[in-house]
Structure formats: structure tokens, C-alpha cells
Amino acid sequence: MAMTNNKTHCFTCNKDKITYPCEGCSQRFCLMDLTEHHQILNNELNHIINDYNQFKHRFTEQKPNPHDLSLLDQINQWEIDSVNKIKQRAKECREIVTKSLQTCTNDIEKKFNDLNEQIKQFHNENEFNEINLNYLRNELIKIRQESNNPSTTSIQQDSQSFINEISIISLEKKPKLNKWKQSAITVAGGNGEGQQLDQLHSPRGIFIDKKKNISIADWTNHRIVEWKCNEKEGQIIAGGNGPGHRMNQLYYPSDVIFDQQNHSIIIADRGHRRVVQWLNQNQQILIKNIHCWGLAMDKHGSLYVSDYQKNEVRRWKMGEYNKGIVVAGGNGEGDELNQLNYPTFIFVDEDQSVYISDSNNHRVIKWRKDAKEGTIVAGGNGQGRNLNQLSYPRGVFVDHVGQIYVADCDNHRVMRWCEGKEEGKIVVGGNDQGNEPNQLNCPYGLSFDDEGNLYVVDRDNHRIQKFVTVL
């Protein structure tokens, strides 16, 4: 009997041989060419390490920025001209400038150290691919750009006083409290509940890409649909083959995110108790046996999943989906600061702090990285409709200045909370339950595009509403 032909095409030598896959570039190589391919990757890593070491050396020895020195010169000259009367004020300003410069330097050094640890890990473990190298290279570019413009301060003088008063002002943008038109535009669904391509049925989570295309977890239709910007109907990009256990089927998906590293979508396949990845209609189970609800991904590519049954949130390192660690909750059902009660949607910020819609506790709770308990940042005053209360919160989003947006589901509104404040503010909705353009009916997922427009999953109206920002 003839042997089975198990040979495939080698990407490098272009011959039919026994080949092996590279996870980074998704190509297959014969053993000899795979060894050479890995050596090329190894050389690229060494180049990155050399660039890092050279830049670190220059950064350590570089002189202070001339702009920063001029700030101190202005303060000193002002002190001489104004003599004793303003010496105390000059001292205060010097301290502010010095503290600002030191903070910038400390931040950059911390990022150096973090990047160094990651480089060491890849180098020591000898397990890396093009994705990892691109990430390291981009991080080094970001740090270099930040070090070239470290100062965020300038001098402001008030010429109306007898002696010009000075103070230190920040050049960083102050938090902008956006406003939105209260009548929304329906950008997906809105044609009644159903399974046609211009319909949705009880949608849950959404993801907005840079082109303003909307990926929607179409819950009762057991599918993920994508509505391209300004289109009248969507297209199925995952599932849509009825409820079932086959790999090409979904069962009540609750959330969806886009993995920038490999241009795939990751889905919380809630009914099947699994997290799955879809890449060009190819499916892969990432995490099994998890009562998943919400998904998030941090800047390092680690995946976060909320488990509403275990009342916890876990983090999985990129590519290592059998080693999840608890980053929030995990101490049983309850309302203590180290507990959760039916966590749903989640958000992860730049510092890897996790914001969780702790639904049955009617609050949003923030867990800083490696913290043993969380901090309440929205709600937490029992179920209700007052401005210091929430009722079964769902979608959560945190902007670049730390403002927290919450889909207040049973109050049919979206609220904005600033951390540390006693109450929030209604930004859209809050006009009773309904289907008018200024009303919502059980809002779920929410997100923003790069222009600041707010998108809300209007679950029981089977539509996605876009609230346009007001400049």
C-alpha cells in the first residue's frame, strides 16, 4: 500500500517537502529553511537589543533639554528683578519645574526597564516571532519620541500686576467634557427584531474599528455581523449557521473584539462557555469551560475575560491561553471590595487597570494592576435612578483622561463618571424607556470612534445608535 503524501510546499526553497509552520508569518518551511528563518528572526532581535542599548546610553548621558533650562533661567531672572518680595514664589516655581522634569525622566526610565524585561524574556525563552519583534520595535520608537519631548510645562506671566506674577502651567490638554446631540442616528438594525441582514435581534457587545465599521455580537441570531460605515445592511463575519456546537457555529455570543496583532476577531461564545478566534473563516478555541461575558485586550496583547459564574476576571498572556491568572474578584459572590457579583463588560486602560461592570452590585469597580481589591468608581449606592446610583450596568468605556462611561441598562441611559466624584452625569438617554431617537431601551455595549461619536447598543430596540459629538 502506498504511503500517504504528507509533503507540502516550502515557502523558501519552493519545493515539496515535510514542512513546519511559523506562527509569526503563517508560512511553512522545510526543516533546513525553518532553521535559517529562525536565525533571521534571532538576528532581528539582536538588532533591536543593540538599538535599545545605544539609545539608552545616549539618553543617560544627554544634557537637559534647552527648553527646560530656559524655564529655570526665566524664573531666576524674574527673582533678581523682583528682589525679596517674590523669592518665595520663585522657589515654589522651581520646585514645580524640577518635579515635572523628574517625573518625565522617571516615567521614561520605567518604560525602559519594562521594555528591557520583555526583551530579556524573549531572548532567554528563545520563543518569539515577527509579531513580538514588531511590538518591541514599536515600543522603542514610542519611548524615543517621548524622550525627545519630555517637558509639558511653560511659563505664564500676568502683566497686570505691579510685579509680573509667574506660575507654571501644563501644556497637556485639559480634560474636555464632550457633549453629544441628544437625538441619535440609527447606524445598524432598527428594522425590528429578525435575522435578515438589515436586522438585529437583542444585540450585546460591539467593536468600532478605525474605519468606523461596527462589529456586533448579534445575540439571538447566534452570529457576529459587521456593518460598514453608512451601509444599509450588515454582513455575517462569524457564526450565522444556527445555534450548535460545530466550530462554525456560535451560541448566544455576548461580546466581540478585534485583535490588532493578527487581524482576527475574538468572540465570547457565552452559550458554549468558550472564547473563540475567527481568522478568515478559520476558527480556533482559545479558552474552554469558562462562563465568559465581556472581553478586553491590553496594549501588550494580553486577553481579559469576565466570568459571571466564578465572579472574576482573568488575564491570559498572548498565545498562552492555558495559564490565565485572576486579576479581579475570585473571592466568591459578594459586595465587598475584593468580590464581584455577576461581572459583565470590562475595559482595560493604559496602566492595565481593569474596569468592571459589577452588574448585580449596581456599580463599576476599578482594579489596579496586581491589586488585592478594587475601588468603586461609579454607582455602589444600591439599585436606583438617582445620579449616584446605577441599575444593572453593562457596557463600560474609559477615555484617555480617565472619564468613565457606563451603559446604565435598566435606567435606559448612558452616564459619565469622573473617578472620585460622588455622582455621575447623564450624557444620552434618560428620557424614559422608548424607541424615539432620544430614547433607549436597555442599553448594553458602548464604544466611541476616533472623532468622539458615541455608539450605544440599544438592545430591546434591536439597533445601534450613534450620538454625534457636539464641537
Count Cα atoms within 13 angstroms, Cβ side, for 391.
13
**Helix axis angle, 31-61 to 87-125, nearest 10°:** 160
Segment 340-365 shows an average pLDDT of 97
Residue 160 has pLDDT above 70, yes or no: no
Question: What pLDDT is attached to residue 355?
Answer: 98
CA distances from 385 to 163, 360, 365 (A): 53, 15, 18
pTM: 0.66
Residue 266 has pLDDT above 70, yes or no: yes
Question: What pLDDT is attached to residue 2?
Answer: 45
Residue 44 has pLDDT above 70, yes or no: yes
Residue 309 has pLDDT above 60, yes or no: yes
Secondary structure of residue 359 in the 3-state scheme: helix
Name the pLDDT band for 151 (thresholds 50, 70, 90). Answer: low
| Per-residue buried b or exposed e for 451-463, using 16+ beta carbons within 10 Å of the residue's own CB | ebbbbbbbbbbbb
Question: What pLDDT is attached to residue 1?
Answer: 42
Residue 71 has pLDDT above 90, yes or no: no
Segment 18-36 shows an average pLDDT of 84
d(CA 172, CA 149): 12
Question: In sequence order, what DSSP letters do the residues of 217-240 get, joined into one string?
Answer: EEGGGTEEEEE-TT-SS-EEEEE-
Residue 384 has pLDDT above 60, yes or no: yes
Name the pLDDT band for 296 (thresholds 50, 70, 90). Answer: very high
CA distances from 198 to 78, 187, 188, 236 (A): 68, 10, 7, 11
Segment 129-156 shows an average pLDDT of 76
d(CA 200, CA 224): 10
Q: Which position has the grid cell 516571532?
A: 129
Residue 170 has pLDDT above 80, yes or no: no
Question: What pLDDT is attached to residue 127?
Answer: 74
Question: What pLDDT is attached to residue 401?
Answer: 87
Segment 441-456 shows an average pLDDT of 95
For the chain, percent of residues with pLDDT exceeding 90:
55
Asked if 265 and 259 touch (Cβ cutoff 8 Å), the reply is yes
Closest CA to 171 of 98, 69, 100, 95: 100
Segment 456-465 shows an average pLDDT of 98
More confident residue, 312 or 96: 312
Contacts 24+ apart (CB under 8 A), 323-332: 324/287, 327/354, 327/367, 327/369, 328/354, 328/356, 328/365, 328/367, 328/374, 329/356
Question: What pLDDT is attached to residue 115?
Answer: 78
Lowest mean pLDDT among 8-22, 245-259, 348-362, 390-404: 8-22
Lowest mean pLDDT among 166-170, 171-175, 401-405: 171-175
Name the pLDDT band for 262 (thresholds 50, 70, 90). Answer: confident
CA distances from 234 to 207, 214, 434, 444 (A): 14, 9, 24, 19
Residue 135 has phi, psi (to 5 degrees) of -65, -45
Question: What pLDDT is attached to residue 307?
Answer: 97
More confident residue, 158 or 230: 230
Segment 334-340 shows an average pLDDT of 97
What are the residue boundaries of the structural domains of the chain, listed by start? 16-55, 85-170, 179-470
d(CA 245, CA 274): 11
Closest CA to 410 of 466, 461, 362: 362
Residue 112 has pLDDT above 90, yes or no: no
Non-local CB neighbours of 43 within 8 Å, separated by 6+ positions:
none
Q: Which position has the grid cell 496583547?
A: 301
> What's the mean per-residue pLDDT of the chain?
88
Burial of residue 125, with CB atoms counted within 10 A of its CB: 0-12 exposed, 13-18 middle, 19 or more buried? exposed
More confident residue, 257 or 163: 257
Segment 343-354 shows an average pLDDT of 96
Name the pLDDT band for 33 (thresholds 50, 70, 90). Answer: confident
Question: What pLDDT is attached to residue 5?
Answer: 65
Non-local CB neighbours of 19 within 8 Å, separated by 6+ positions:
7, 8, 9, 10, 28, 29, 30, 34
CA distances from 30 to 22, 148, 301, 310 (A): 11, 45, 29, 45
Name the pLDDT band for 180 (thresholds 50, 70, 90). Answer: very high
179-470 has which CATH code? Answer: 2.120.10.30
Lowest mean pLDDT among 165-169, 346-350, 462-466: 165-169
- Using only C-alpha atoms, what is the Rg of the chain? 26
Secondary structure of residue 250 in the 3-state scheme: coil
